[in-house]
Amino acid sequence: MRILPALALAAAAVALTGAAQAQDRLARGKYLAAIMDCGGCHMPGALTGKPDMTRMLAGESIGFEIPGLGIFYPPNLTSDPDTGLGKWSQADIVKAVRTGVRPDGRELAPAMPWRAYAALSDSDARALAAYLKSLKPVANKVPAMVGTGQTAKAPYMTVVVPK
């Protein structure tokens, strides 16, 4: 009969260790998102100097015009299934951050520094993805990309490319 309490105690210890590891992974992902400055582009209001901390990483309505390519609006990174990453798996996020390719096969906007992020360790890439998936869903549809020669309906900044 003493075996059952010992097994229950061991199972509880394993569960607590797993929970602690998950919390550590989320903390690491939050740290990485901060030092990678995800909020510098993907936070509403960040580009005007007034970040909306109540909509953490919910996308930006001000875009980047890259001459010859179009205007790109930083998307919603929260777990919202309709306007964010809610339908993406953690593996989808890791792949996009490291290769610049979305689950639908499209490339990320050229302003996204995925080439630098490609050097993330497996553990760090998974931690970042876990953190993004843990964000509360915030419904925030950003403007669609505007192609070269099309008229933008939302504000944007032009990236100046030296000649």
Give the amino acid at 51: P
| Alpha-carbon torsion, ordered 24, 119, 32, 42, to 10 deg | -140
pLDDT of residue 22: 82
In this structure, what is the dihedral angle of CA atoms 85, 88, 91, 92, given to the nearest 10 degrees?
Answer: -80
Compute the radius of gyration of the chain from its Cα atoms. 19
pLDDT in tens, 46-60: 999 999 999 999 999
* pLDDT at 98 > cutoff 90: yes
85 has pLDDT over 60: yes
Q: Tell me: the pLDDT tens digits for 133-153?
A: 999 999 999 999 999 989 999
| pTM for the predicted model, two decimal places | 0.84
> How do the domains of the chain map onto residue ranges?
3-158
The mean pLDDT value for 33-55 works out to 95
